[in-house]
Structure 1
Amino acid sequence: MHVGAALSAVRSSGSILEGLRAGQRLEELARRGDAAAVDLLVAATSDPDAITAVAAVRALGAQGSAAAASRLVALLDDPRADVAEHAVEALAGVAPPRDAVAPLVQRCAAGGFTGMLAQRTLETWAAATPSTVLDGLVAELAAEHDPGARARLIETVGLLPKSGGLPILTRASLDDAETPAVRAAALSALGDLLADRSGHGTTEAPAVRAARAALAAVAATSGPLARVADRARADAQPPADRRPRATGRSDGLTVVQLFLHGAVDGSLRHSGRGDTGGIATLLVQLGDALLRQESRVGRVITVSGGWGDLSTPAAPDPTEPDGHPDDLRGPGHHYVQVPFREASTGLAAAWSRWVEARRGLRRILRAAGSVDVVHLRMADVGSMVAAEVATELGIPVVLTMAPDPQALVAAREADGSLTRAGFGAADVVEHLWFRDRLVRRLAEQAEHLVLFPRPDLEGSIARLVGVDLSAHPERVLVVGEGIDVGALDQVAREVWGDAPRSPATGAALGELDALLDRLPPERRSLPLAVSVGRLAPVKGMATLVGSWLADPALRDRCNLLLIGGELDDPSREERAELDRIHDLLASDTSAGAGVLLAGHRPNATATAWLAAAQRGTPAAAGPGGVYVCASLKEEFGIAILEAMTVGLVVVTPDGGGPATYVDDGVTGVRTDTTRQDALSGAVRRALDLAAAPGAGLRRRRSRAVVRERFGIHTMAAAVAEVYTEVASAHRGPGRMVATP
């Protein structure tokens, strides 16, 4: 196939995902393309089809010639925001055109996702022409007065290799006229650059000595900047000895797992807040279970995002980790946070934090000493930078690969909410093309893939992601997520009065009673339809409320309890979902009296409430409640498993992981959760099922499915085997094949 035929394949692709896959094949062909191919690609960048235009832009970056570079520079001013944004990234593949430096530097100053792409392109260029990039940054700093923009520019100076930027960073770090954010960016960058200078002879250049003196001077002060300088001084030290660990050691392997978009702690107090969903529950319970796997794993380090160096929580929690990786070398399950300069941000807005994330992860991995495996789970900024640091430090990567965002793109295209004509606008907001490519890059780097069960697994992964699992089947593990069945059983027995009630369970039930007291008296005998999850569009909470309100028969049969989300200080994404819910409730205030928004609760509290929904409560909820997962797509579903463990009939999407373990019409109801009428009908059928004869047998069947297939120890045993294999036979990246 030649470039012209490949372009035609993109244009004629039958779906958005097929277009993305065809675009990837076009890039591969463009790498070998000649001047005629460049002409075809240049013309295609003006194509009215957004997918074809962007595919051509990215192919020009892959082709890499001067003519391709010239067109990409021109596209930086294109009125199509998606085309201009992809040109920023594609420029990383060409030799640095001098006339592109200034516009990319300006995008760095503006920040956001495009600013991140510009920083990464400039970092790539600086490896060959550092002075050209530095001159552009210096010129922009001289003209820029906005503190946030200056901080981003200073951060970018820190990405340049060698010591050319040291004098600029040193002056900024000591300048009282600069804001704390600018000085913090300079101090942090000094730590990185001085680390690059460690071990380069015994005589240090004056610029290096001045930079070290600046760090020492600020570290000797008090306040937030002193903490930043202290960390930067630690970063500037030569790395610790990283000789390979001997396999089979009595102290076991060291595994690092991460989720940077929320605070993860052993008590799961932050569950359901912001982006801290089921993955937090999994990381905590899996980390503990791994330590009980016959000494194969001796140390688990769970990394999350925490309060920044320059931000102070309104009510600091003395039990919260402070972000300092001071004592990570002992055995056990350690929790440590990457300290961002500002309060941690959500998934959608976190890309601009990539430099801080990479620096923090590098610091943690260095402090941890020998690390055997880094386990990545999401196509997000944390996985992107963790993969880079793992490569830098020679640590193998295991990837839990889910078709995200691909499955969501397919679902939204199927229901008409995402069209080919609207893809460009959606891509600017959601970065769908970038995330699709990130999944594939991570899969290619990973030594081993972990996948959740789903119908036609091999075919769906090839279709959605473009990864050929059959190329290396020995390097693929299919395993469901696990939950702590024993702990859930104990809470349920306490709720049902079959075991002495602990103070924690008693307090949880007291909170539930207080919440149910809000219901009008005439609704207090109805069962509960409960949903647990983040307040994010993909979780479908607003869809569920709309379905419930639109179905009078359903409203008359149950109350709706939504657990999750920060109600008092919501993130931007949470606020948007709350606004949708409140708009729906405002349309019928009398009907809305049956909807209860509980906000996020600790995992143990949510578990107790699920058990109470199954049996009912003495004063305010009838028995026979159900659990509803209204997600547009669900890769597996920790909360669904928890609901099944306490005997609730569940409503789930008819696809993904739930389709492999929910027996439709027996243990639950599977449905098209993108349609309000289908969802409300499924909830009514679930209530019928919960009230039908044989409820005890159904509950036992649900519990047996979870206990036999999805216990946390079953999952831990399987992944521990993978970690052992990867650590003992680390053969480098590129094990999986992303099909062109």
Structure 2
Amino acid sequence: MPSKTPERVRDGVVINDDFSASQHLISQLNEPKKLEKLSLHQSNLVRILSAIRMGEVLSYEALETKLREWENDILLSTSLFRGVQRSGRKLAFRDLLTVIGKSEEIDSLLSRVIRYDSSDLVAAKKHASVLLESAVLDGRDGFDPEALLDLWKENERVRSLLLLLSGEKRPLIREMIGKSLGDDLSLHLGIILKAVRYGINLPDNHPALTAGPCLKKIYSLLIDLRDQIRVNSVLVQFSFYGDPLKTGKGSSGGMGTFLRTLGNELTQNLPGVVTIVPLEMREISRMDRLWRTEREHHFLIYVPFLGYEKMIMNNFLEERTTLISNVTDILSIAGISPEQFHMRFSDFASQAMLDLSKKTGIRSFFTVTPDPQWRFVDQKGSLIKLDAVDAVRETSKVEVSWKMLRDCDGLFGIGSEESRNQLLAYYPPLLDESISKKLTMMPEGISLRNECPIFVNGPLYSMLFEKDKEFYLERSFRNNPLLLTVGRLDPAKGQVKLLTAWGNSGLWNSFNLVIVGGDLDHPNRIEANELEEIRKYVRQNKELHGRFCHLPAMNNDEIRCLENSISRVKATPWPPTYVAPSFKEEFGIAILEAMAAGFVAIAPKRGGVKSYIRDGYNGFLIDTTDEVSIEKELRRLLIDVRPSARRMKMIAENGSKTIYRRYSISVVAKQFSSYYSS
């Protein structure tokens, strides 16, 4: 592969880095020998790209040979099947028996590429999961009920699939619910959902209700949900990474805020909006119902799952069919008839919802981003090193995006038209007119109707100085300019990097630092790790006490009020500064909100922020690779250059004007609703 990234490979395609160059060049190769050589490359990313291409171009006989050769190499065999899926070809099930069960993703791919024969199910009962998943995806329902009941008795691993496959066959579902259930709590939850959906009453001593805590409570909540919503022709959007009403906690971040405000605005032009939110079973005890009404005709529906944090960690791969089953049941129970689905993440949850939309004839939309690919290169655009396991896991997100490109009815890109080139660099299929015509570029936006949308008793600014917190500001330092960052407490958001850069650079002498984010009382595993890093650093640097404040996650309305409260305090001639230390931001809802409130924004160069921040005019763009680069950049901007308070105020004003002119959620929502309805 070339050591330098060419600017272009083909007319109209901009090459951003070595990954996009490698992808474009390999996609042009048809010679098996050259691809074979590249499959031995030292970079696992190049090996994956070459094996995918081989899966696209090899003859059926050559594929069989290569499968036998690569049978025990998960990286290459997975990539080969990805290529087969891209090509749209089918393989005989009986030729694939030796690779079934090698990995969860291989099984998922096999379910999409096998050529099905009705005799296969009887002949290969121990491999029934792949066949049954294939039947679910293809919408086949001509199975003998007795054969399915036999499978229920003999193979516990496929029971969830059998429930899903049984569809509207109530007598068959009733038979399954009455059989032995084993100890799979996820299956018990699935049975409860099916029972409520089809009006099958479960006695109090039914195994599905007594197998674990909260199962009786969820049964009761589901019965209460029945026909509560009753809306037709609605848009369903998915918030699989946390509750939009709990932004900053767990996995819920800026996207949740956007979905909440967008959903509210879309109801002005659409019959209704439903936002699907995952609910971890352990949270059931705190729930009084499974729906919330944000604004008239915008409903948040909570779908229960087991092991939600694990689901996120594996990109929802293992729960792909459970997602289809649970979401289908919840929509039916609530009386919701969707017209459109909109998926926004490159993961197997989005792919599962696409599968569901195809099964049910619902129009599908997907927001495509270069997010997965940006993780594969360093600051200079060179390929990073990934071990085989990480390489397969991370590139699976790219594979999902490619499938969404081909199969969704409509596509959205984030940002202005100039951001389209970013997508072209990573998604060659967008050069195909049949796919490119599905894509429209769309900005994200924020609510600008009310600077502080809730009533607060006194200025929220004062909470920074409350001494009951672990980290708070001393009033003796209140005249120092303030640096603020808001977001979920996660390494991807870079709060620890910012804290370290602020402390190491000496900025703490002149600037106070405030971090808002994380569930500080009941942190999840990731939040707990980040909290420990913060505590460790501050303990080692006693001089930071009184100059650093850490507030727990606040809902979006409270954040807006806090930021406006901070902006209105005239303790310093400098305007407050918002720093986004994340490696990249796809667009940056929190950045938009801070700019609207009058903060000077300092944000990452990578991602979509540059579509609205002009460096030095209405904000600043910096290298956020690590704490060293952040320290260097903050010193340059805030200490070495010594900008005047007047200049910083002008930059803050320019930033606020930019947001008010171009990124009002009401304007953005009209653009979305027009496209949904076209």
- TM-score (structure 2 length as normaliser): 0.78
User: C-alpha distance in 1, partners of 2:415/2:46?
Assistant: 23
Aligned to 2:616: 665
Decide which of 65, 68, 71 is 1:42's aligned counterpart: 68
CA 1:512/1:590 → structure 2, altered by over 3 Å: closer, same or farther?
A: closer
Q: 1:626 aligns with which of 571, 577, 580?
A: 577
1:274, distance to aligned residue in structure 2 (A): 1.0
Q: 1:504 aligns with which of 445, 456, 468?
A: 456
Question: Residues 708 and 5 from structure 1, CA distance in 2 versus in 1: closer, same or farther, beyond 3 angstroms?
Answer: farther
For 1:531, the aligned partner's letter is T
Residue 299 in structure 1 maps to residue 325 in structure 2 = no
The superposition leaves residues 212-255 of structure 1 with CA deviations (integer Å, 9 ceiling, x where unpaired) of 46579869999954565578889999xx999xx8xxxxxxx632
Shift, 1:372, TM fit? 2.9
Asked if the contact 1:172/1:183 (under 8 Å) is kept, the reply is no
Post-superposition CA distance 1:71-121 (Å, at most 9, x none): 414x83xxxxxxx4443334423466999864x79xx9xxxxxxxx99846
After TM superposition, give the deviation of residue 673 of structure 1 in Å: 0.7
Alignment of 1:227-376 (within 5 A): 254-264=234-244, 268=245, 270-292=246-268, 296-306=269-279, 308=281, 311-313=283-285, 316=286, 322-323=289-290, 332-340=297-305, 347-348=312-313, 351=316, 352-366=318-332, 367-376=334-343
Contact kept in structure 1, 2:446 and 2:589, CA below 8 Å: yes
Measure, in 1, the Cα distance between the counterparts of 2:159 and 2:382.
45
SS of 1:405's equivalent? Answer: helix
CA deviations on 1:449-484 (whole Å, 9 max, x unpaired) are 111126853332133244415625543221211111
Match status 1:89 vs 2:117: no
Question: Which residue of 415, 427, 448 corresponds with 1:453?
Answer: 415
Q: Identify the residue that residue 497 of structure 1 maps to in structure 2.
A: none
Change (3 A) 1:346 1:548: farther
Mapped pair 1:8 → 2:36? yes
- Once the two structures are TM-superposed, the CA of residue 702 in structure 1 deviates from its matched residue by 1.0
Alpha-carbon deviations, 1:178-212, whole Å to 9, x = none?
Answer: 687664343335567x69xxxxxxxxxxxxxxxx4
- The answer to which of 361-370 and 217-226 deviates more is 217-226
Give the aligned residue type for 1:633. K
| Residues 7 and 580 of structure 1: CA distance in aligned 2, closer, same or farther (over 3 Å) | farther
By how many angstroms is 1:68 displaced? 4.7
Partner SS state of residue 297, structure 1: coil
Distance 1:585 1:346, change over 3 A: farther
Instruction: Please state how far the C-alpha of 1:655 moved relative to its aligned partner.
Output: 2.7
C-alpha distance in 1 between matches for 2:591 and 2:203:
50
Distance 1:3 1:170, change over 3 A: farther
- The alignment partner of 1:597 has SS state of strand
Deviation of 1:525 (Å) = 3.3
Matches within 5 A, 1:385-404: 385-404=352-371
Q: Label 1:166 to 1:299 Cα distance change in 2 as closer, same or farther (>3 A).
A: closer
CA positional deviation for 1:712: 0.8
Mapped partners of 1:513, 1:20: distance in 2: 53
Indicate the SS of the match to 2:276.
Answer: strand
Show structure 1 runs of 5+ residues with no match.
77-83, 109-116, 142-151, 196-211, 246-252, 492-501, 726-740
Asked if the contact 2:577–2:600 (Cα under 8 Å) also holds between the matched residues in 1, the reply is yes
The answer as to whether partners of 1:455 and 1:659 remain within 8 angstroms in 2 is no
Percent of matched pairs sharing the same residue: 20
Three-state SS of the structure 2 residue aligned to 1:487 is: coil
Match for residue 69 of structure 1? 96
How big is each residue's C-alpha offset from its partner over 1:514-540, in whole Å with a ceiling of 9 and x where there is no partner?
Answer: 169833566443222111111222212
Q: Which residue number corresponds to residue 575 of structure 1?
A: 528
Rounded Cα–Cα distance in structure 2 between residues aligned with 1:408 and 1:505: 44
Distance 1:374 1:459 in 2: 26
Q: Does 1:478 align with 2:444?
A: no
Question: Are residues 566 and 392 of structure 1, via their aligned partners in 2, closer, same or farther at CA, if it must alter by over 3 Å?
Answer: same
In 2, the alpha carbon distance for the partners of 1:124 and 1:724 equals 27
SS of 1:607 mapped into structure 2: helix
| 1:639 counterpart = 2:619 | no
In structure 2, relative to structure 1, the CA distance for the partners of 1:118 and 1:598 (3 Å cut) is: farther
Displacement of 1:665? 1.7
Residue aligned with 1:358, SS: helix
Gaps of 5+ in 2: 1-28
SS at match of 1:718: helix
Q: Residue 560 of structure 1 corresponds to which residue in structure 2?
A: 513
Task: Give the CA deviation at 1:442.
Answer: 1.9
Match of 2:80 among 50, 56, 74: 56
Q: What is the TM-score normalised by the length of structure 1?
A: 0.72
In 1, the alpha carbon distance for the partners of 2:620 and 2:209 equals 62
Shift of 1:654: 0.9
C-alpha change, 1:458 and 1:510, in structure 2 (3 Å) is: closer
Asked whether the equivalents of residues 530 and 560 of structure 1 are also in contact (C-alpha less than 8 Å), the reply is yes
* Residue aligned with 2:301, SS: strand
State how far apart, in whole Å, the 2-side matches of 1:415 and 1:580 are.
Answer: 29
Judged with a 3 Å threshold, the aligned counterparts in structure 2 of structure 1 residues 70 and 394 are, in CA distance, closer, same or farther, namely closer
Distance verdict in 2 for CA 1:63–1:450, change over 3 Å: closer
Q: Provide Cα deviations, 1:21-63, integer angstroms capped at 9, x if missing partner.
A: 5444332224xx232342134324566xx75454235457866
Q: Deviations for 1:379-437, whole angstroms, at most 9, x for unmatched residues?
A: 23542332222222211112222223222233589477x41xx3423246xx3232222
CA distance in 1, matches of 2:388, 2:241: 26
Q: CA deviation at 1:566?
A: 1.2
Evaluate the alpha carbon distance shift between residue 124 and residue 605 of structure 1 in structure 2; reply closer, same or farther with a 3 A threshold: closer
Are the structure 2 counterparts of residues 587 and 706 from structure 1 closer, same or farther at C-alpha, using a change threshold of 3 Å? same
Mapped contact 2:91–2:114 kept (Cα < 8 A): yes
**Structure 1 residue 574, shift from structure 2 partner:** 2.1
User: Once the 2 structures are TM-superposed, how far is the Cα of residue 548 of structure 1 from its aligned partner?
Assistant: 2.1
Q: Distance in 1 between matches of 2:387 and 2:90?
A: 25
Residues in 1 aligned to 2:230 and 2:535: alpha-carbon distance in whole angstroms: 56
- The yes-or-no answer on 1:513 pairing with 2:513 is no
**Structure 1 residues 134 and 680 mapped into 2: Cα distance closer, same or farther (>3 Å)?**
farther
Show CA shifts across 1:470-523 (max 9, x none): 6255432212111112323x57xxxxxxxxxx7416263342331698335664
**CA distance, structure 1, for counterparts of residue 124 and residue 380 of structure 2:** 36
Q: How far is the alpha carbon of 1:363 from its aligned partner? A: 3.5
SS of equivalent to 1:38: helix
Query: Please, what is the CA RMSD of the aligned residues?
Result: 4.4
